[in-house]
Amino acid sequence: MPCSAFSIGNKWDDLIPQVDECLQPFRLSVSTLQSVSTRLKKDMIRGLGKHTHHRAPVKMLPTFVRATPDGTEKGDFLALDLGGTNFRVLHVRILEDEQRVVKMDSQICAIPQEIMLGHGEKLFDHIAACLAEFLDSHELKGQTLPLGFTFSFPCEQLDIDKSVLIRWTKGFNCSGVEGEDVVRLLREAIHRRGDYDIGSVAMVNDTVGTMMSCGYRDQSCEIGMIIGTGTNACYMEEMRNVKRVEGEDGRMCINTEWGGFGDDGSLRDIQTDFDLVVDKTSLNPGIHTYEKMISGMYLGEIARLVLVKLTEDKLLFDGQVSDALQTPGRFETRFISEIEDTGLENTQRILTELDLNWSLGDVRLVWLVCDTISTRSAQLCAAALATIANRIRNNRGLDHLKTTVGVDGTVFKKHPNFSQQLQATVRLLAPRCDITFLVSEDGSGKGAAMVTAVAQRLALQPVVFEKLLLEAWGPFDLLVALW
Ligand code: BGC
């Protein structure tokens, strides 16, 4: 009987054994989370190593960003932001006197699924067309503005304007782009049109953009984290540990690509049967295992599979699965946030929209399923963040670390308890780190403009200085100053 499946009180009290059995694999003990963190720590070292990198699931990609803004950056920039569900174009102005980054205008362009899964040339033509429309409507077409391109996929960065896509993640799978320089593909698409041009380009991952834009507000921001459609983090690593890049001094921002953690099977013990199905039916089976347990692209689908199983076992909805509940992707991740928000009305509305015949007991059990899945996501994310914070503390030989994380992403921002749960778990796993969370507004767009501005400032500095920089840091490091 659905009503006897669960009664609210202590959330685990009175669960009938079949429900408990179904949800138990999602509950992670502190010692399991500690073990996950230890595994990630090892994988991060593999990713940084010269000879271990190519087989490492956590890629630890050098970004060649060694500096935050120094406050003298200024001017107008364009920013492109590709990586979530939508593509955004922004016009950003950096005001030197007020030390502020101002978003002048922005426009969202939807990317139809056939483009997300079609040929790469079509994707870049679409991006170039959206940009043209934006420039037209804001009378910017005559200007050749520098452009910051936030491209939120794993890329091997060869220079500030040369970035090779390693693989697609999330909802994208365009042919002919993996292994190619994304900036070249963008420039070629703009040239095919021939009606406008762009200035210098700086490529950034969204985590780096987030860290940079928060860094403008808080100098101790040295971690950038995204928990949205996908998940990932970057942080400032000691150069002596970045074995794939010449040089021992100073620090460099590393894009961890922590979403790939577990791709070598190292997390098999904590993957549930539902995770395995989500992976198998995804666009990229076997890739980004950790991301598939944490991020917004997948949480709703995990919840849907659990709800279907509980219904088939006659523990929900009188055993009646609706067509809607049976449709992959129909139970959206935003439902989890809405259901866990105060009151049961949201749940009742969502279940009605999904053509389900619910009882009060069902409503409560659905809430518990959502809570279980989002709690695991927050805890796993915390385990990864704690690993980074502990690493920074150890790197610097500190007894205590005080640091700031710039955060963005719908899961973190929209879910009612996610950030609280994440912070509580980080405190347990990194007790000697005092972490402040700074929520970024438009971080990836503004951050990309900021990276471009720093690059431009350095490029404009006297040739002698530039030459010195090149000698000191090698050809890839035009984006250099003092961290
Ligand atoms: C990508 C990362 C990105 C993250 C958040 C992941 O799927 O691989 O590069 O930072 O999503 O957008």
- What is the domain range of residue 100? 75-213+443-464
CA distance 220 to 435: 10
Q: What are phi and psi of 214, to 5 degrees?
A: -75, -30
CA distance 9 to 423: 24
Residues 409 and 231 sit within 8 Å (Cβ to Cβ): yes
Residue 178, in any domain of the structure: yes
Nearest CA to ligand 1 atom 3: 152
Residue 122, in any domain of the structure: yes
Give the CA angle between residues 22, 364, 318 to the nearest 5°.
Answer: 70
Distance, CA 8 to ligand 1 centroid (Å)? 37
286-328 pLDDT, tens digit per residue, is 999 999 999 999 999 999 999 999 999 999 999 999 999 999 9
Residue 24, in any domain of the structure: no
pLDDT band at 69 (very low <50, low <70, confident <90, very high): low
- 161 is an active site residue: no
CA distance 102 to 117: 34
Bridge partners (DSSP) listed for residue 86: 110
Nearest CA to ligand 1 atom 2: 153
Ligand 1 pocket member 210 (CB < 6 A): no
Dihedral-angle region of residue 426 (phi above 0 means left; psi in -120 to 50 means alpha; beta otherwise)? alpha
* pLDDT, position 68: 63
How far, in Å, are 4, 340, 372, 436 from residue 16 at the CA level? 8, 21, 16, 40
Instruction: Give the number of domains in the chain.
Output: 1
Which of ligand 1's atoms lies nearest the C-alpha of 291? 7
Residues 215 and 221 sit within 8 Å (Cβ to Cβ): yes
Region 381-400: mean pLDDT is 98
* pLDDT, position 473: 33
> What is the rounded (10 degree) CA torsion for 136, 138, 139, 141?
-50
Distance, CA 362 to ligand 1 centroid (Å)? 35
Residue 62, in any domain of the structure: no
Q: Are strands 433-439 and 401-408 parallel, antiparallel or unpaired?
A: parallel
% pLDDT > 70, the chain = 90
* pLDDT, position 79: 92
Residue 301, in any domain of the structure: no
Residue 202, in any domain of the structure: yes
Assess whether pLDDT exceeds 60 at residue 472: no
> Which listed residue (170, 292, 309, 446) is catalytic?
170
Assess whether pLDDT exceeds 80 at residue 4: no
When mean pLDDT is compared over 64-78, 138-152, 464-478, the highest value belongs to 138-152
187-215 pLDDT, tens digit per residue, is 999 999 999 999 889 899 999 999 988 87
Nearest CA to ligand 1 atom 11: 230
Test site for ligand 1: of 165, 172, 177, 257, most ligand atoms within 8 A of the Cβ: 257
Assess whether pLDDT exceeds 90 at residue 470: no
* pLDDT, position 199: 87
* pLDDT, position 216: 73
Ligand 1 pocket member 207 (CB < 6 A): yes
DSSP three-state, residue 148 = strand
Nearest CA to ligand 1 atom 1: 153
* pLDDT, position 482: 28
Closest CA to 445 of 227, 210, 247: 210
- 206 is an active site residue: yes
CA distance 291 to 262: 9
Neighbours of 197 (CB within 10 A): 13
Which pair of structure tokens corresponds to residue 382?
Answer: 């915390």
Q: What is the CATH number of the domain that holds 173?
A: 3.30.420.40
Neighbours of 462 (CB within 10 A): 8
Q: Which residues of 34-55 are buried (b: 16+ CB within 10 A; e: fewer)?
A: eebbebbbebbbbbbbeeebee
Residue 284, in any domain of the structure: no
Assess whether pLDDT exceeds 90 at residue 5: no
Which of ligand 1's atoms lies nearest the C-alpha of 155? 9
Ligand 1 pocket member 259 (CB < 6 A): yes
Distance of CA 478 to the CA centre of its chain: 26
Region 274-287: mean pLDDT is 97
List, as own/partner pairs, every contact residues 190-195 make where C-beta atoms lie below 8 angstroms and the sequence separation is at least 24, other chains included: 190/128, 190/131, 192/125, 192/128, 193/125, 193/128, 193/129, 193/132, 195/132, 195/141
Residue 239, in any domain of the structure: no
Helix (H) or strand (E) holding 115: helix 113-116
Ligand 1 pocket member 154 (CB < 6 A): yes
